[in-house]
Amino acid sequence: MSFYWYENDHGLLDGEKMAMAKFFPAFKLYKLEDGSGRIYWRGKVQPTGKGGMVWDLMLIYKNDHPQSEGFGGSIQILPVKPRLKDIAKQLPIDNDKGLGLGLPHIYRDNFGRNEEYFICTADPKYFKASQTRSTSAASSLSWACKWILLCEMWLNGEISDDVAREGVY
């Protein structure tokens, strides 16, 4: 049995590829060059449409996909550009408002030799993982686009801290 989910479950990998080809065909699949064996999708999205920011994203599978828990499960969403850490360091930190890292609904984790900030996607109770069903990269990306819409509106002052923190989107 392999350490890597994509070598153990070819059906799941094929399903992931089909979902991304159908819904986000511009995203391409790669393997991290850090020796971790983790695979990832990379591509660009523009959730708020014309005039909105273009986000260059990596969707990185954890090696225990699809079983992970917390902050959105086994697929981590890392904005390469804009980089969340760069945006967050220009913002005030407010732990009482759920903005402990400066932005709503983000978390930090090690990535290579650096600590990076990632987008939280589904609340764990909405994340689907079982023997027969799992949240796909395509689904996680749709969550991320919701987050980006929320984040851009919050940065523009179009929604309040409370609404952004609640995250009912």
Partner 1 sequence: MSNNPSGDADAVAARRRALAEALRSGEDVVVTPSGEVEYKDEAAEQGHTAIQVPNGKLARGE
CA atoms of 16 and 61, how far apart (whole Å): 11
SS3 163: helix
Q: Based on CB atoms, which residue is closest to partner 1, 4 or 16? A: 16
CB-based contacts of 42, cutoff 8 Å, min separation 6: 27, 28, 30, 56, 57, 58, 59, 80
Q: Based on CB atoms, which residue is closest to partner 1, 33 or 96? A: 96
Site for partner 1, rule CB under 8 A: 22-26, 44-52, 55, 70-72, 98, 100-101, 103-108, 120-126, 138-139, 141-143, 145-150, 152-153, 156, 158-159, 165-169
Min separation Cβ 141 and partner 1, Å: 7
CA atoms of 140 and 51, how far apart (whole Å): 24
Q: Based on CB atoms, which residue is closest to partner 1, 7 or 161? A: 161
CA atoms of 16 and 93, how far apart (whole Å): 37
Q: Based on CB atoms, which residue is closest to partner 1, 48 or 63? A: 48
Min separation Cβ 44 and partner 1, Å: 7
